[in-house]
Structure 1
């Protein structure tokens, strides 16, 4: 067990176009992107090649970004696997969980692309259906580590007066992301910055997103996503992993439960559906890897540097992919 590693896959918020330029010369990555283009009809390589360093990039829609990041992550993982080939447990951040399903061979790459396209469309439409302005707010603590142990509890107390704010991500003991009604988030942000609400030394960042992901505001996406999930085949027979309790599970830690995925297709669908409206328990997921499986080394696998940053916040030793 001590020889196992964790492979981490990023979610939607990462920068992928510029960060992937240096990987296009890798034949495995290039072949994966071509395969994805054939399924999605999205010119992924063109989007990457057009991303010049000295130009501002136009914002792309969720329906392009989600399958693009999935394809980039799978391509980089395939290249990584060819070099290493050793066993791993997988953790994906939100969208990254679909990359993890492909990496574990529980979901075929073409099926994952189609499913993620349906997910992106459902989430995009949910954002459009929301009557009020919504957004997401990241809170990052700069205080000493001893203070971080109570940071999460302090955030829960700070949001209690607000009726339309949900916790979207528990990224680490020092970083939480909130989703909800923009008006309430703005009041909370101002209170934190003015020290009316004292959370310690906290950086407040608004996320550049279309809506309040991983919150109640994504509920309109559930029916459409469920229909897509019911059409998707999950291949779990040859991907089982014996958990610390002796149960057969998939080698993927779920965002929803911070536990290994069950092997039953119906339960996999249920978790992926809940993921849209439940918080990403990333901090808890990495904590489980360390406490139950003794895994402290991780390989961030995907575009951008978000996973490297979160791994560092969670005191994981980062290995180069």
Structure 2
């Protein structure tokens, strides 16, 4: 019997228009994108075809980008991995968790598209009503820290003087994303190297997002998403597995808990709601896959190369689709 592997789905920050061009000739991918266009009412294939290699692409809003990345990820899964899905565990980075729910058959694709569109709208509106400018900042340590939580501990200490910065993602032992008030993030970015001098060089990258996702600034988005989740049907009966602790759980690792999803629909709704305001515990999730389920190999499934990079940072071997 083949060793179990993980399928990893990307979140919002990936480059999807150019990276999907070579897959449009695949009939399964194309049909998935057509299905997304019919549900969402936006010209997804045109956005991909019109993405010229040497020109700056016009910026698309959160309400287009989130369902588009979901559709691209599901299309690639259907085309290349669906036949192996029963022997895999799934994980997604933020938005990618919805792709994981579709791949595991817990959510239907049309339902996920509608839910993600609502999620994107709610998050975008939360950004618009925020009075101060907000953003997200990725901090990446070039060297591996002396012990796993060292970089995380130093970043937490560095942000202590700031009242409006939250940890948004813990991607690996050497990459953390912060979310919050822009002015405070700028000050922290200018001082982070001195706060982590004993660890080596830190790269600072601003994320191209509408605002402070996975932070307190997303609380205004919760009611709209809660209403949509309350009407959502989750299919859990035939997709459960026995977890390492002997419980029946879903084969998807949650960003919020870094544990497999429970089978209870009300708890699934609660986790997906909390995901907007809680940090993405991706490093802890990958540690769970490795340490409890013996996973060493993964399939990054989606546009762009972000998941390949995060898999490498978390010492997982990536396999091509």
Equivalent runs, 1:231-270 vs 2, <5 Å: 231-270=231-270
Mapped partners of 1:24, 1:3: distance in 2: 31
Maintained 8 Å contact 1:249/1:260: yes
Aligned to 2:278: 278
For the residue of structure 2 that corresponds to 1:32, the secondary structure is helix
Mapped partners of 1:6, 1:196: distance in 2: 35
Aligned to 2:157: 157
Aligned to 2:189: 189
Aligned to 2:73: 73
Q: Which runs of 5+ in 2 are unaligned?
A: none
Equivalent runs, 1:163-174 vs 2, <5 Å: 163-174=163-174
Aligned to 1:212: 212
Maintained 8 Å contact 2:8/2:90: yes
Mapped partners of 2:129, 2:215: distance in 1: 14
Aligned to 1:48: 48
Aligned to 1:5: 5
Q: Which runs of 5+ in 1 are unaligned?
A: none
For the residue of structure 2 that corresponds to 1:53, the secondary structure is coil
| Structure 1 residues 268 and 83, CA gap change in structure 2 (3 angstroms) | closer
Mapped partners of 1:130, 1:20: distance in 2: 33
Aligned to 1:223: 223
Maintained 8 Å contact 1:253/1:260: yes
Runs of 4+ in 1 over 6 A off after TM superposition: none
Q: In the TM superposition, what is the alpha-carbon distance from 1:209 to its structure 2 partner?
A: 1.1
Aligned to 1:146: 146
Maintained 8 Å contact 1:152/1:173: yes
For the residue of structure 1 that corresponds to 2:81, the secondary structure is helix
Cα displacement string for residues 236-264 of structure 1 (whole angstroms, at most 9, x for unaligned residues):
11111110111010100000000000001
Maintained 8 Å contact 2:145/2:151: no
Maintained 8 Å contact 2:236/2:250: yes
For the residue of structure 1 that corresponds to 2:54, the secondary structure is coil
Equivalent runs, 1:69-148 vs 2, <5 Å: 69-82=69-82, 84=84, 86-146=86-146
Mapped partners of 2:223, 2:175: distance in 1: 31
Maintained 8 Å contact 2:82/2:103: no
Maintained 8 Å contact 1:312/1:318: yes
Mapped partners of 1:2, 1:172: distance in 2: 27
Give the aligned length. 320
For the residue of structure 2 that corresponds to 1:180, the secondary structure is strand
Cα displacement string for residues 26-46 of structure 1 (whole angstroms, at most 9, x for unaligned residues):
111001001111100011001
Mapped partners of 2:74, 2:94: distance in 1: 15
Q: In the TM superposition, what is the alpha-carbon distance from 1:283 to its structure 2 partner?
A: 0.4
Alignment RMSD: 1.3
Mapped partners of 1:148, 1:271: distance in 2: 26
Q: In the TM superposition, what is the alpha-carbon distance from 1:84 to its structure 2 partner?
A: 3.8
For the residue of structure 1 that corresponds to 2:203, the secondary structure is strand
Q: TM-score, normalised by structure 1?
A: 0.97
